[in-house]
């Protein structure tokens, strides 16, 4: 039973965290409009628009990455039968791998790469795990 709970923890952590991530990305254009004339619906359009992006355009992607990881790690730690922090960090590592792949495919400014990879994944996973297990563990 523990193995099934732990598998479910990972699957639901990734699924729910990924859903939150994509949901924020989808609505981000209505909150912070893209640069004039930018087509952000294709990879080619994103690549062409990157030089036009201002710091404000990177706020929503950062929030998507951070909140998706935080919630995914929280869910995984909450469901896991044991080693709750380990499961939270595994979710953070999975999202970090996705973040690295994203930066390779879609180069971003160095400042965003540092902030995103340095804060949005492992620290958020740790925070999600810590909130779940409490201060004493």
Q: Give the CB-side neighbour count of residue 25, counting CA atoms within 13 A.
A: 15
Report pLDDT for 94.
98
CB 55 within 8 A of CB 70: no
Chain centre to alpha carbon of residue 44: 22
Report pLDDT for 75.
97
Report pLDDT for 39.
83
Report pLDDT for 41.
81
Report pLDDT for 38.
85
Phi then psi for residue 59, to 5 deg, are -65, -50
Q: Is the pTM of the predicted complex or chain greater than 0.85?
A: yes
Report pLDDT for 109.
94
The one-digit pLDDT tens for each residue of the chain (137 residues) are 999 999 999 999 999 999 999 999 999 989 999 888 888 888 888 888 888 899 999 999 999 999 999 999 999 999 999 999 999 999 999 999 999 999 999 889 999 999 999 999 999 999 999 999 885 55
Report pLDDT for 126.
98
């Amino acid at each position: 039973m523990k193995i099934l709970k732990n598998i479910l923890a990972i699957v639901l952590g990734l699924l729910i965290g990924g859903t939150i991530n994509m949901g924020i990305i989808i609505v981000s254009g209505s909150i912070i409009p893209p640069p004039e004339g930018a087509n952000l619906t294709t990879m080619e359009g994103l690549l062409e628009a990157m030089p036009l992006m201002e710091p404000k355009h990177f706020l929503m992607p950062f929030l998507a990455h951070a909140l998706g990881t935080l919630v995914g790690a929280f869910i995984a730690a909450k469901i896991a039968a044991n080693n709750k922090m380990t499961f939270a960090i595994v979710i953070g590592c999975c999202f970090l791998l996705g973040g690295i792949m994203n930066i390779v495919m879609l180069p971003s400014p160095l400042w965003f790469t540092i902030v995103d990879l340095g804060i949005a994944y492992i620290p958020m996973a740790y925070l999600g795990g810590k909130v779940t297990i409490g201060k004493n563990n």
